[in-house]
């Protein structure tokens, strides 16, 4: 069942969408950072707003010094990979954080004149105001480990990352950008599922994005999926499961049906670890769980090998 939660169920798990800028370097604190992200401290700088200097860990309740969390790519000392938006993803993925953002296409707003008490138009406006984005997909191009790639990031902060017409067009545009440049496509997925406010038009995006992937396959360009927390519903049941390679961040919720729906259907509690990244690797649906600080290197390596093979044809 495709479904999009419009609220972020994890609440505090979502950091701001843009990386911090300006200010002085973060101070050194212990060995945790040095292990996870050696040297990164010098690249990331302190946020200039004095409030929110401490972030509460959603798992342990511990207060984490925000500059440290930023330096650790928003991975807590407990290992939780907190949800991050497109700007941070791009910065962490591309070599030296250098990339060119590509425009994401728009689609008609509210084609069904949908309202569930609050109108979809109002929800869209609120999501745009909160994120500064037009919809859930952001596209950029740059190099990953020396290989040019187009990267698509689905932003959970925008209406639960839900897949509507604009997001579908965004995916197609990203695939076409990769085709134009004859380079691979990397998609970071994060969504509650389809955008119900667009009815069957959102369902059609499952087929439309699948067609875009076929265009890449026909010319032998790699399509790599990085599944992040959470990836569920119609998104998982289309482009998130059609990659040449599937990577997943540790502990990400990945599945088709929502856990509440499954529990209500079978009237049993779910086993621990159910629908988490590690479980999907064990069940053969994901190639590898890759911590955030290793993602760029692993992606770079995979893309290099695949593109070298392609060049030999």
Partner 1 sequence: MATHFLEFERPIADLQAKIDELSKLSDTAGAGAFDGELDALRARADVLRHEAYAHLDPWQKTQVARHPERPHFINYVDGLIEEFVELRGDRCFADDQAIIGGLGRFRGVPVLVMGHEKGHDTTTRLKHNFGMARPEGYRKAVRLMDMAERFNLPVITFVDTAGAYPGIGAEERGQAEAIARSTERGLTLNVPMIATVTGEGGSGGAIALAGANRVLILEHSIYSVISPEGCASILWRDGSKAKDAAEAMKITAQDLIGLKIVDRIIQEPAGGAHSDPDSAIQRVGDVVEEELKLLMTLSPAELRKQRSERFYAIGRSGLA
Judged by CB under 8 A, the residue of 75, 153, 178, 213 near partner 1 is 213
Backbone angles phi, psi at 183, to 5 degrees: -130, 165
Judged by CB under 8 A, the residue of 285, 293, 304, 310 near partner 1 is 285
Judged by CB under 8 A, the residue of 24, 267, 283, 313 near partner 1 is 283
User: Could you say whether residue 112 binds partner 1 (CB under 8 A)?
Assistant: yes
Q: What share of the chain is helix, strand, coil (3-state, %, to 5)?
A: 40, 20, 45
User: Could you say whether residue 1 binds partner 1 (CB under 8 A)?
Assistant: yes
User: Could you say whether residue 127 binds partner 1 (CB under 8 A)?
Assistant: no
Number of residues in contact with partner 1, rule: CB under 8 A?
A: 63
Spatial separation of the C-alpha atoms in residues 15 and 295, rounded to whole Å: 19
Closer residue to partner 1 in complex, CB, 44/163? 163
Site for partner 1 in 136-175 (CB under 8 A): 165, 168-169, 172
Spatial separation of the C-alpha atoms in residues 99 and 20, rounded to whole Å: 17
Judged by CB under 8 A, the residue of 49, 52, 98, 115 near partner 1 is 115
Pick the stretch among 48-56, 74-82, 147-155, 262-270 that binds partner 1 (CB under 8 A): 262-270
Q: CB neighbours of 225 closer than 8 A, spacing ≥ 6?
A: 186, 187, 189, 239, 240, 241, 242, 243, 245, 246, 247
3-state secondary structure of 223: strand
Spatial separation of the C-alpha atoms in residues 17 and 90, rounded to whole Å: 11
Question: Shortest distance, CB of residue 117 to partner 1, whole angstroms?
Answer: 7
Distance separating the N- and C-terminal Cα atoms of the chain: 41
Judged by CB under 8 A, the residue of 255, 276, 277, 295 near partner 1 is 255
- Closest to 44 measured CA to CA, from 18, 17, 64, 71: 71
Spatial separation of the C-alpha atoms in residues 99 and 200, rounded to whole Å: 35
Question: Shortest distance, CB of residue 300 to partner 1, whole angstroms?
Answer: 26
Spatial separation of the C-alpha atoms in residues 98 and 110, rounded to whole Å: 35
Spatial separation of the C-alpha atoms in residues 141 and 274, rounded to whole Å: 34
User: Could you say whether residue 4 binds partner 1 (CB under 8 A)?
Assistant: yes
Judged by CB under 8 A, the residue of 16, 58, 97, 111 near partner 1 is 111
| Residue 61 DSSP class | -
User: Could you say whether residue 198 binds partner 1 (CB under 8 A)?
Assistant: yes
User: Could you say whether residue 131 binds partner 1 (CB under 8 A)?
Assistant: no
Judged by CB under 8 A, the residue of 257, 298, 302, 307 near partner 1 is 257
Dihedral angle sign, alpha carbons of residues 88, 93, 96, 101: negative
User: Could you say whether residue 216 binds partner 1 (CB under 8 A)?
Assistant: no
Judged by CB under 8 A, the residue of 28, 48, 116, 180 near partner 1 is 116
Pick the stretch among 85-93, 125-133, 206-214, 305-313 that binds partner 1 (CB under 8 A): 206-214
User: Could you say whether residue 206 binds partner 1 (CB under 8 A)?
Assistant: yes
- The DSSP bridge pattern shows strands 99-102 and 185-191 to be unpaired
Question: Shortest distance, CB of residue 85 to partner 1, whole angstroms?
Answer: 23
- Closest to 141 measured CA to CA, from 111, 175, 106, 168: 175
Residue ranges in contact with partner 1 by CB under 8 A: 1-6, 107-108, 110-117, 165, 168-169, 172, 194, 196-204, 206-208, 210-211, 213-214, 233-234, 236-242, 255-258, 261-262, 265-266, 268, 270-271, 274-275, 279, 283-285
């Amino acid at each position: 069942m495709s479904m999009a939660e419009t609220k972020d169920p994890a609440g505090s798990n979502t950091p701001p969408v843009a990386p911090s800028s300006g200010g002085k370097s973060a101070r050194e604190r212990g060995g945790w950072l040095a292990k996870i992200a050696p040297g990164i401290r010098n690249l990331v700088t302190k946020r200039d707003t004095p409030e929110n200097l401490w972030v509460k860990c959603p798992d342990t309740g511990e207060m984490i010094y925000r500059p440290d969390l930023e330096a650790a790519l928003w991975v807590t000392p407990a290992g939780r990979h907190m949800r991050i938006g497109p700007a941070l993803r791009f910065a962490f993925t591309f070599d030296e954080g250098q990339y060119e953002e590509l425009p994401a296409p728009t689609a008609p707003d509210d084609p069904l004149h949908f309202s569930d008490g609050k109108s979809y138009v109002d929800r869209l406006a609120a999501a745009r105001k909160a994120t500064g984005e037009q919809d859930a997909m952001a596209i950029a191009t740059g190099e990953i480990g020396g290989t040019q790639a187009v990267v698509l990031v689905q932003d959970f902060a925008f209406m639960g990352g839900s897949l509507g017409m604009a997001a579908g067009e965004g995916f197609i545009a990203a695939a076409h950008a990769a085709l134009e440049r004859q380079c691979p496509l990397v998609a970071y997925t994060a969504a509650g599922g389809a955008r119900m406010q667009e009815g069957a038009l959102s369902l059609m995006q499952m087929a439309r994005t699948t067609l875009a992937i076929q265009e890449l396959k026909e010319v032998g360009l790699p399509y790599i999926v990085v599944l992040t927390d959470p990836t569920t519903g119609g998104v998982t049941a289309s482009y998130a499961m059609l990659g040449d390679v599937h990577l997943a961040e540790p502990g990400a919720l990945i599945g088709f049906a929502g856990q509440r729906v499954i529990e209500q259907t079978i009237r049993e509690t779910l086993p621990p670890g159910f629908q988490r990244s590690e479980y999907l690797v064990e069940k053969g649906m994901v190639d590898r769980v890759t911590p955030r600080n290793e993602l760029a290197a692993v992606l770079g390596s995979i893309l290099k090998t695949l593109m070298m093979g392609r060049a030999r044809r």
